[in-house]
Structure 1
Amino acid sequence: MIKTRLALLLLVSITFGISAKAQQTDSLQRDTVIKIDTAQVNKFRIDSRRNAIPTRVRPVQLQRAQVPFNMLDYKVNYWKKSVTFGLNFSQSAFSSNYAAGGVSAVALGTNFIYHTEYNKAPFSYVSELNLQYGVSKNKDQGKRKTNDRIFFDNKLATQLSKNWYFFGALTFESQFDKGFNYAYVDPVTGIAATGPVQISNFMAPGYLTESLGFEYKPTNYFDLRLGTGTARQTFVLDKSIITHQPDNYGVDPNKTVRNDLAFQMVALFDKDIAKNIHLNTRYALFIPYGEDLRFITHRVDMVLSAKVNRLINVTINGTLLYDKHTARDVQATEGLALGMLYRFP
């Protein structure tokens, strides 16, 4: 029994010894392989410090070069032009036995505006020609004017600062046709005339105004002119109106022209105040030097237009005038029209 145990113990010891020897041999082989691989790698390794490629750093130099190219085929246009033409027509008819009464009538009104503008800093030039004429014809009556005006304004300016300019302006104003008073009463006798009497005509009166001064223009829709040096000539070339116009528009009855030196202020407002609604207003103040303050002239012209569609417009125009040389009291006119209005462009 004892011998058997000793034999088993010896067998186990021999087995453990052989296993340990095999592990030692494998470890030694792995170390050898690792050493051999490391040596091979070190053999072919390149030292970058000893084998660096030589380089030279040069400063970057920029030079201006002329590159040929072809100019675009276009021109700068400093001019802006526009044309506005309006035509209003109205008609009414009544039978002879119409119970509510009424008079058959036809009315026609026209309006033409030509506006041109030149802007090239520091100079600017603005010109506007405004022509208005309207007539109405009632049954059993002759034609009567409803509107009549010629207005031609020219202004040349040079810029002094952001909003201030020095300007020179030339303005002409008159009418196309004869004007009549259909309810004339003689101011001396108080007797009413039996028919219409002529009180105006082309160049009776006519006004030519030259003005120099300063202009304030903060926006493109507002313009204020201060004409510190203004001269105005008033023309009356039709002597037939003297009988019913005693003051003769301030012109001596023996002459055809009157000269005035004055201070003039003109304010212009031209803007769309709402969608499809445009307001154009012009106020002119004229203070003649050397005359009484009661001869100061005020004039307001206003045009309010509402666009219905591309061609149809509703227009309200009015004028308010205070001029002692033409009437004792304030004069006013107003008109409402529905018609065609065409603007180009």
Structure 2
Amino acid sequence: MKKIFFILVLIFTFNTFALVQDSLKNKWIPSLVTNIGFNQVAFSNWVKGGENSIAWSILANFSYNNTSDLWTYKNSLKGLFGRSKIGSGNYITTDNDLYIENLVSYNVGWAVSPYLSNSIRTQITKGYDYKSSPTKQISDLFDPGYITQTLGFTFDKYPNIITRLGIGLQEVFTNKFIQYTDNATTTDVEKFKFETGIESVTDFDFKIDDNIIYKSKLRLFSQFKSLDIWDVRFDNIIAAKISKLISVNFNFLAIYEKAQSPKTQIKEGLQVGFVFNIL
């Protein structure tokens, strides 16, 4: 049921923006950038030690934006998936993330503009805990999945930074991995959790040099019933374009969500790959 709901949300979202495009098709700006990274090491009769290895990852960034005198529409999708293998071992998943965000704001002539946003966060496919023995699956597509709707005000008067603050409604969906939604104080098994609170999102985009850019997104969310506890997602990327087709990316992601783990989760990765500006 949760996957059907997820698909319906996607269909509704993109059909809605397709209708807007038909009425203002000359003002919509699509963008699709993909990055493919690959690493491989092989040995034959090598006496100094080592092991064959292979790793690859794919990053896709899609945006579809429109700005007029009164209305601003921003739609983005970021997907990241990667796998690696060492020696005769099995492939393991190293990256597995999907983030969709849709936002509409209205210019009323104030310093801030009212906005409405919707975001979807989940995994692309199955996720595993490779430290456990045997390997244990801990997530899947929309298991858990997060959908957040926010109504508030955004400040976007500077080209490099956009920040917004609003009242957020967050739904958490699970199927098998109910540890993200189940309330341990009740006897029932909850696979759905509804939260209300405050959400803040700040986007920063800075050009360090002609071919180097730094982008970050800081998201904070706290429930009204526990304003002393905040969920934090701090996503950073530094991208350097070496040539028209080759780039170097460094990504640093820090997440703190008490419902997932009492400790801060950190992921960093360095990738050299091919860049394709499709749109």
Q: TM-score category by the smaller chain?
A: 0.7 to 0.9
- TM-score, structure 2 normalization: 0.86
Rounded to whole Å, the distance in 2 between the matches of 1:119 and 1:269 is: 19
Alignment of 1:280 onto 2:215: yes
Equivalent residue number for residue 79 of structure 1: 28
Equivalent residue number for residue 54 of structure 1: none
Q: 1:198-209 residue pairs with structure 2 within 5 A?
A: 198-209=137-148
- Choose the corresponding residue for 1:249, options 151, 163, 180: 180
Rounded to whole Å, the distance in 1 between the matches of 2:26 and 2:159 is: 19
Equivalent residue number for residue 105 of structure 2: 157
Alignment of 1:317 onto 2:251: yes
Rounded to whole Å, the distance in 2 between the matches of 1:134 and 1:224 is: 31
Q: 1:131-142 residue pairs with structure 2 within 5 A?
A: 131-142=79-90
- Choose the corresponding residue for 1:331, options 265, 273, 277: 265
Report if the CA contact (8 A) 2:181-2:190 is conserved. no
Deviation, 1:162, is 5.4
Q: Higher strand share goes to which structure?
A: 2
Rounded to whole Å, the distance in 2 between the matches of 1:307 and 1:251 is: 45
Q: Higher helix share goes to which structure?
A: 1
Equivalent residue number for residue 300 of structure 1: 234
Rounded to whole Å, the distance in 2 between the matches of 1:167 and 1:282 is: 18
- TM-score, structure 1 normalization: 0.70
Rounded to whole Å, the distance in 2 between the matches of 1:163 and 1:341 is: 37
- 1:219 match: secondary structure: coil
Residue identity in the other structure for 2:239: S
Deviation, 1:99, is 3.5
Equivalent residue number for residue 102 of structure 1: 50
Deviation, 1:292, is 6.2
Larger Rg: 1
Q: 1:255-266 residue pairs with structure 2 within 5 A?
A: 255-266=190-201
Name structure 1 gaps, 5 residues minimum: 1-74, 185-193, 243-247
Q: 1:16-95 residue pairs with structure 2 within 5 A?
A: 77-95=26-44
Equivalent residue number for residue 189 of structure 1: none
Rounded to whole Å, the distance in 2 between the matches of 1:120 and 1:76 is: 12
Report if the CA contact (8 A) 1:88-1:109 is conserved. yes
Rounded to whole Å, the distance in 1 between the matches of 2:51 and 2:252 is: 25
Larger RCO (CA under 8 A, 6+ residues apart): 2
- 2:124 match: secondary structure: coil
Identical-residue share of aligned pairs (%): 25
Rounded to whole Å, the distance in 1 between the matches of 2:227 and 2:26 is: 48
Deviation, 1:282, is 0.2
Rounded to whole Å, the distance in 1 between the matches of 2:29 and 2:206 is: 17
Rounded to whole Å, the distance in 2 between the matches of 1:329 and 1:101 is: 36
Equivalent residue number for residue 153 of structure 2: 214
Report if the CA contact (8 A) 1:170-1:208 is conserved. yes
Equivalent residue number for residue 3 of structure 2: none
Equivalent residue number for residue 188 of structure 1: none
Deviation, 1:164, is 1.5
Rounded to whole Å, the distance in 1 between the matches of 2:246 and 2:158 is: 29
Rounded to whole Å, the distance in 2 between the matches of 1:76 and 1:325 is: 42
Rounded to whole Å, the distance in 2 between the matches of 1:142 and 1:99 is: 24
Alignment of 1:114 onto 2:62: yes
1:249-286 Cα distance to aligned partner (Å, 9 max, x none): 24347122100001000000123221200111000010
- Choose the corresponding residue for 2:164, options 225, 228, 234: 225
Deviation, 1:90, is 0.6
C-alpha distance 292-269 of structure 1, shift in aligned 2 (>3 A) = closer
Equivalent residue number for residue 341 of structure 1: 275
Rounded to whole Å, the distance in 2 between the matches of 1:99 and 1:326 is: 45
